[in-house]
Amino acid sequence: MSQSTLDNDELFGEAANEMREDVEASLDDARAALPDGDAVWETEADNVLGVLNGLRSALDVEDAQSDLRDAKKWFTMGQRADAFDDAEDLEESIEEVEALIETIEEAHDQVGDLTATIPDLRGTLDDAADAGTDADDADTEADADAEEAEAE
């Protein structure tokens, strides 16, 4: 083998190691960008809508998605170049972070639906209570009128 071939093999090995490090670093960044358990559990809101808005904000995974995308990009490049001797651990880590993000996104969507529904529900319940009060007032007036008519 010529010196040039040895240098190219050595350079490829270095590049493969750097690619693995990039994948691992992006996965670490993605994990770090995931919401903290306390952030989705604790709240300081005054009402349900405040709780839901805070929870929805806590469930934001945009940064984690971006970091996961970088990890997948470098992983795909390394895989296609056959640069990784053992890529199973990286693939498992990517799948794990991806599944976590999907779960959090589903929760985010559900909270978003509730956030949109709760104000409407409150309005409907208030309207129903007002209608019930109006009906009770009308019944009370009708009863009073009937008693007054009987008294005459």
Q: Is 120 exposed, middle or buried (0-12, 13-18, 19+ CB in 10 A)?
A: exposed
* pLDDT confidence tier of residue 13, bands split at 50, 70 and 90: confident
User: How many structural domains does the chain have?
Assistant: 1
Q: How many CA atoms lie within 13 A of 151 on its CB side?
A: 6
- pTM score: 0.76
Q: What integer pLDDT is reported at residue 86 of this predicted model?
A: 86
Instruction: Give me the pLDDT at residue 11, please.
Output: 87
For residues 68 and 27, the answer to whether their CB atoms sit within 8 Å is: yes
Q: What is the pLDDT of residue 27?
A: 97
What range defines the domain where residue 73 resides?
A: 3-151
**Listed residue (17, 57, 19, 66) closest to 39, CA to CA:** 57
What pLDDT, in 10s, does the model give residues 126-147? 999 888 776 556 566 656 565 6
pLDDT of residue 144: 56
pLDDT digits (tens, 9 = 90+) for 89-131: 999 999 999 999 999 999 999 999 999 999 999 999 999 988 8
pLDDT tens digits, one per residue of 65-84: 999 999 999 999 999 988 88
Question: Tell me: the pLDDT tens digits for 18-39?
Answer: 999 999 999 999 999 999 999 9
**What local confidence, expressed as pLDDT, does residue 58 receive?**
95
Stretch (H or E) spanning 109: helix 88-151
Query: Which pLDDT does position 114 carry in this prediction?
Result: 95
Q: What is the pLDDT of residue 3?
A: 57
